[in-house]
A and B are shown apart, each in its own frame.
Chain A
Amino acid sequence: MADSRVQIQTTRFGSLSVPEAACYAFPEGILGFPGLTRYALFDNPGGGPLKWLQCLEDPALAFVCCDPALFVPGYRVAVHREDLQGLSLERVEDGHVLVILVIAKVPSESTANLLGPVVLNVPARLGKQLVLSDSEHSSRHPLFSATKA
């Protein structure tokens, strides 16, 4: 079972085979895209640390995301108990946090949405986009410092 794979349709990469274990249910969807509740997470086929969160119900609906530690060391998500319940998340170590990127035409101006992280319950294959209402995090955090040479 660990090895079972599913064929998914993507606008970006055509038909792809991903492990079933990489398919997540998002019962509440991604904000702004209600009713679309199944997504697959896979590494960028072109390599590198970026990942794609691809909707299984709409080939054109896909987001690029990454581990926030890549750009924001020490980024922490204050998760409310009700959010954890929505994810059936009982152990912190089962959780995995991703942030969605807005990739700019000038790539060094790309930003990460730290205000609306995606939290996954990896063993349960459940996901949810949180809204960090009590957070000082930015919805458009620059990936690269403005002072970069």
Chain B
Amino acid sequence: MLVLSRQKDESIMIGDGIRITVVDVRGDKVRLGITAPKDVKVFRAELYEEIQRQNREALQPAPEDVDKLKDLLG
């Protein structure tokens, strides 16, 4: 992993289109500003990972469990 040191108001560029700026540093919290093309998705990593995890859990449920839920729904 590439590690760079940056101070407040300094930026890094990722390719031509993505700029990440350190907006504020307070204690152990860093605020980042991100400028990216509209088709580049930017999320907190844990949010992205959580949805991936839920998708994997949702995958191919056991047929009998689907039927049980269906029956529960009436």
A-side interface residues toward B, CB under 8 Å? Answer: 11-12, 30-33, 44, 46-50, 60-64, 70, 82, 85-86, 100-105, 107-108, 110, 113, 115-116, 129, 131, 133, 139-140, 143-144
Query: B67 → chain A, closest Cβ, in Å?
Result: 6
A12 touches B63 (CB 8 A): yes
Residues of the A chain whose Cβ atoms lie less than 8 Å from the Cβ of B73:
48-50, 70
For window 25-74 of B, CB contacts with A under 8 Å fall at 38-39, 41, 43-44, 47-48, 50-63, 65-73
Is B51 in contact with A116, judged by CB distance below 8 angstroms?
Answer: yes
Name the B residues within 8 Å of A32 (CB-CB): 51-53, 55-56
Contacts of B57 in A (CB 8 A): 102
Which B residues lie at the A interface, using CB under 8 A?
Answer: 38-39, 41, 43-44, 47-48, 50-63, 65-73
Instruction: With both chains docked as a complex, state the minimum distance between the C-beta of B68 and any C-beta of chain A, in angstroms.
Output: 4
Given A50-B69, A110-B69, do A63 and B55 touch, yes or no (CB 8 Å)?
A: yes
Question: How many A-B residue contacts, CB cutoff 8 Å?
Answer: 98
Question: Chain A: which residue is nearest B51 at the CB level?
Answer: A116
The main secondary structure of chain B at its interface with chain A is helix
Q: Nearest 5 pairs between A and B by C-beta?
A: A32-B52, A48-B70, A116-B51, A103-B61, A107-B69
Residue among B47, B56, B68 making CB contact with A115, cutoff 8 Å? B47
**Given contact pairs A64-B58, A101-B61, A103-B61, a sample of 5 additional A-B residue pairs in the complex whose CB atoms are under 8 Å apart:** A31-B48, A31-B51, A50-B66, A101-B58, A140-B54
Separation of A91 and B58 alpha carbons in the complex (Å): 30
Bound: A131/B73 CA distance, A: 27
Question: Cβ of B50 and Cβ of A115 under 8 Å apart?
Answer: yes
By CB atoms of chain B within 10 A, which of A108, A110, A129 has the most?
A110
Given the known inter-chain contacts A113-B51, A115-B47, A129-B51, please indicate yes or no for A100 contacting B58, CB distance below 8 A.
yes
Contact residue among A11, A107, A116 (Cβ-Cβ distance under 8 Å from B65): A107
Q: Are A44 and B66 in contact (CB under 8 A)?
A: yes
CA distance A105 to B73 in the complex (A): 15
Bound: A85/B70 CA distance, A: 35
